[in-house]
Amino acid sequence: MQVKTWLQRLTDESNLWFNAIKAEDEGHFESAISYFMRDAEKCIKQRSLVRAALSCSCAANCLVLMGARSPARTLYSEAGSIYLENSEVVMSESIREALWSLEEAFENYALAGNTDADIVRERYIKLAARISPFSKRGQTSIALESRKAESIKPDPKKEPKIPEGLASEIENFVKARASGTTSEGPFDPRYVMKSLNMNGGSRLDEKSIVS
């Protein structure tokens, strides 16, 4: 049996991500959104959270291009939630990735007009202070605010109605995320918190800090 190379796997017509990008480039936004949503669901089940969040935000981008801003805000918010979850999962392994994930969560929440962006800002500032105790809170906050995008504002009077099937895909994904049914196994908060001690200190090793 012939083994596919990484390039063949990437360009395989059955590859959801490849098909989504191809459809988006060709201006077939409805198809692209469907592929992105299926890819996001698949990646969530495989615990590939960054890829899932990216697919979710890409689907939101396509919705904006279609003028469907209300569902776009919903998916930007979901992407922010997934990035936030990833920051918790990788906390004990890579502070750098945790900070990056918080930046992405902040940006997506901002696009969604989600007030959880304020919570993410506080987490980012506190985590950044652990790495550089002498960094100033104001400077860290300003650096993060530079990533803040203007929220997508829907206009119900002009907003087109997306196909029912597409709306159902988005709704089902959001409901599955809320119920936890998109995950293959329960999320263990001990994995998130194992790097922290009761005094608020950290047991992170040097490798996790610089990775």
| Residues, the chain | 211
Q: How far apart are CA 98 and CA 79, in angstroms?
A: 15
Q: How far apart are CA 110 and CA 95, in angstroms?
A: 22
Q: How far apart are CA 144 and CA 109, in angstroms?
A: 13
Q: How far apart are CA 54 and CA 40, in angstroms?
A: 8
Tokens 């929440």 — which residue?
Answer: 109
Q: Maximum distance among all alpha carbons in the chain? A: 59
Q: How far apart are CA 81 and CA 146, in angstroms?
A: 20
Per-residue pLDDT reduced to its tens digit, 35-55: 999 999 999 999 999 999 999
- Given a cut of 50, whether residue 15 has pLDDT beyond it is yes
Q: State the pTM of this model.
A: 0.77
Structure tokens at 87: 């920051």
**CATH architecture group of domain 15-149+167-210:** Alpha Horseshoe (1.25)
pLDDT recorded at residue 194:
41
Domain boundaries, the chain: 15-149+167-210
Q: State the pLDDT confidence band at 90, using cuts at 50, 70 and 90.
A: very high
Structure tokens at 145: 């605010």
- Given a cut of 80, whether residue 186 has pLDDT beyond it is no
Q: How far apart are the first and last CA of the chain?
A: 38
Alpha-helix runs per DSSP H in the chain: 6-10, 16-25, 29-45, 49-66, 69-89, 95-112, 116-131, 137-145, 164-179, 189-193, 206-210
Q: How many CB atoms lie within 10 A of CB 149?
A: 13
Q: State the pLDDT confidence band at 210, using cuts at 50, 70 and 90.
A: very low
pLDDT recorded at residue 113:
93
